[in-house]
Amino acid sequence: MTPDKIDIVMFNMSCYTEWQRGIANRNFHILHTLLRDPRVRKVVAIDYMPFTFRRAVRQWLYNVLGGVAGKVLSRGLWHKFVAVRESEIERTGYNLPGYEAGAVPFKLFVYSDISSWWSEKLFYKHLERELKRLDLRNVVLWSYTPAFVGYFDKLKAKLSVFEAVDNWLEHSSYQRYRERLRLNYQTIRYRADLIFTTSPELVRFFDRSGGCSFVPNGVNLEQFAAAAKLVDRDFAALPRPIIGYVGTIQEDRFDVDLLAYLAQANPAKSFVLVGPVWPGLAKVVEQRLKPLPNVHFLGRRSSRDIAAYFKEFNVGIMPHLQNEFNRHTNPMKLYEYLAAGQPIVATPSPGLEEFKGIVHFASTPEAFNQELLQALAENEPAAASSRRALAQQHSWSKRVEVMFDKLWPLISERS
């Protein structure tokens, strides 16, 4: 008998309190889109499982001692389990239509536990005990982190899903854990029922005959439809046009030399970077970009407000390194630039071929600059409307629908 609803146990690549503070990623958007889907009865969101001492301490302070507010179901020295009220969910910028009329008093549960740092086995023992409180049915395990794979053996479920967001083997932050990640990716390859990836390169990486699909990132269209235009100190004094970038300025992703070239070639234009600078790139940014008078760093801004920043740009850019890490990515900002109606100039990346003719692609600094000038010249209202119309095809709800098209037949077979 085909079920009409499923319950999801999701292993996150972030912590829920980080999302409440305005940090957004694919995991954030997919989880909240699933919460809004009537086919999903309950979601247990498991905060990022720490595997380093530093992260364990941080998580203990922010998510066990503190953490998301709600009805506390269980609390111990190393863990906290909370049923989350709708008002707490709304702090992320998402809401749940029809939440109060649902079949369950709580739809979202957040579990934080730092015991994974010293014992993955102990972590699952604690988690399994807590999950029994919820009367879960038709359980789907859904993971975003390749750092742990023990759930395949320790937790019972109808189906397991893994979402490969980037290739962690190519990320500089995880170089010490490459062997662990390599082995875990192999386990995921053979044992996950479904794998969704952020790039065609990751589909090839997993090298499966089936059950592995490229599902690009998307955009929260409601956020961009509702955003008001900013008029504040962030932009009021800046000369226009404004060339904007939104995202983490990180050593594996961001091409500092390309940005420096563009800023020096266009001294009358303002280059605005909205996002944090990672420590690994801080010294280079300090030396190469901060001395340039037309480069402006605004730092991190809340995801709830970010659409308004996009709308201030005359052109959105993606000056990304053309390296192995970026071959496995799918920039979320591309879809957000489209939703804001902005022209886009980017370095080439696999999986973005469908946007040729809409996005200006360039492989060299000189070509990138020429495409930037062309994009500024073509920034007409009709073109902006066309970009916004294209963004309608790339909502997070459409991405989740693609996933359900793969997931539901398997659930039906096993019911």
Does residue 26 lie in a domain region? yes
Does residue 43 lie in a domain region? yes
Does residue 163 lie in a domain region? yes
- Kindly state whether residues 51 and 137 are assigned to the same domain: yes
Average pLDDT of the residues of the chain: 93
Does residue 363 lie in a domain region? yes
- Kindly state whether residues 69 and 175 are assigned to the same domain: yes
- Kindly state whether residues 234 and 258 are assigned to the same domain: yes
- Kindly state whether residues 333 and 399 are assigned to the same domain: no
pLDDT band for 236, please (50, 70, 90 cuts).
Answer: confident
Q: Residue 151's domain is classified under what CATH number?
A: 3.40.50.2000
- Kindly state whether residues 235 and 336 are assigned to the same domain: yes
Sorted by sequence, the CB contacts under 8 Å of residue 238 that are 6+ apart come out as 270, 272, 296
Does residue 121 lie in a domain region? yes
- Kindly state whether residues 130 and 15 are assigned to the same domain: yes
Phi then psi for residue 79, to 5 deg, are: -145, 165
- Kindly state whether residues 35 and 179 are assigned to the same domain: yes
- 108-113 and 79-84 beta bridge pairing: antiparallel
Are the C-beta atoms of residues 65 and 77 closer than 8 Å to each other? no
pLDDT, residue 1, reads 57
Does residue 172 lie in a domain region? yes
pLDDT, residue 304, reads 87
pLDDT band for 415, please (50, 70, 90 cuts).
Answer: confident
264: number of Cβ within 10 Å:
13
Instruction: Quote the number of domains for the chain.
Output: 2
- Kindly state whether residues 192 and 151 are assigned to the same domain: yes
Does residue 94 lie in a domain region? yes
- Kindly state whether residues 21 and 58 are assigned to the same domain: yes
Range name among 95-104, 172-181, 278-287 with the lowest pLDDT average:
95-104
pLDDT, residue 29, reads 97
pLDDT band for 220, please (50, 70, 90 cuts).
Answer: very high
Does residue 1 lie in a domain region? no
Q: Does residue 231 have a pLDDT over 60?
A: no
Query: Residues 319-357: pLDDT tens digits?
Result: 999 999 888 999 999 999 999 999 999 999 888 888 998
Between CA 143 and CA 192 the distance in angstroms is 10
- Kindly state whether residues 151 and 229 are assigned to the same domain: no
pLDDT, residue 102, reads 52
E strand map for 252-353: 270-274, 295-299, 315-318, 344-346
* Structural domain containing residue 267: 221-393
The DSSP code for 61 is: I
Q: Does residue 90 have a pLDDT over 60?
A: yes
Query: Residues 152-183: pLDDT tens digits?
Result: 999 999 999 999 999 999 999 899 999 999 99
pLDDT, residue 305, reads 86
Phi then psi for residue 367, to 5 deg, are: -65, -35
Angle between helices 26-35 and 396-413 (to 10 degrees): 60
The pLDDT of 191-219, averaged and rounded, is: 96
- Kindly state whether residues 198 and 285 are assigned to the same domain: no
Structure tokens at 195: 């794998």
- Kindly state whether residues 378 and 277 are assigned to the same domain: yes
pLDDT band for 259, please (50, 70, 90 cuts).
Answer: very high
State what percent of residues in the chain have pLDDT above 70. 96
The pLDDT of 37-50, averaged and rounded, is: 96
Counted residue by residue, the chain has a size of 415
